[in-house]
Amino acid sequence: MANHKSALKRIRQTEKRRLRNRQVRSQLKTVLKKFYSVVDGGSEGEDLGKVHRQTVSSIDRAATKGVLHKRAAARKISRITAYLQKSQSTAVQ
C-alpha cells in the first residue's frame, strides 16, 4: 500500500479514471451493437444515416477522451462506414 500523499492521490485519480473509461467503453459497445442491429434490419423505420452519425460521434468522443487511440477510432469508423455502404449496395440489388 502507498505511504506518500502523492501516491495516495494517484491511486484515487487512477480509480476515478478507470471507472470513467469503463463507462465510456461500455456505452461505445452498446452503440456499436445498436448500429449493427439496425443496419442488419433489426429495427425498421430508423434512419441509417442518423444512426451512423450517432455511432461515429460516440467513437470520436471516446477518442477525444483518450479511451480509444485516435487510429483505433479511425479504424472503427472506417469499418462501420464500409459495413453500411456494403449493406446498402446489397439492399439495392
CATH of the domain at 83: 1.20.58.110
pLDDT at 2 over 90: no
Q: What is the mean pLDDT of the chain?
A: 91
The predicted pLDDT at position 93 comes to 61
What pLDDT digit, counting tens, does each position of 35-79 carry? Answer: 999 998 866 667 888 999 999 999 999 999 999 999 999 999 999
**Count of domains for the chain:** 1
pLDDT at 91 over 70: no
Q: What is the domain extent for residue 63?
A: 5-39+46-92
The predicted pLDDT at position 44 comes to 63
Cα separation, 71 vs 90, whole angstroms: 28
With b for 16 or more beta-carbon neighbours within 10 A and e for fewer, the 47-83 pattern comes to: eeeebbeebbebbbbbbeeebbeeeebeebbeebeee
Find the mean pLDDT for residues 15-36: 96
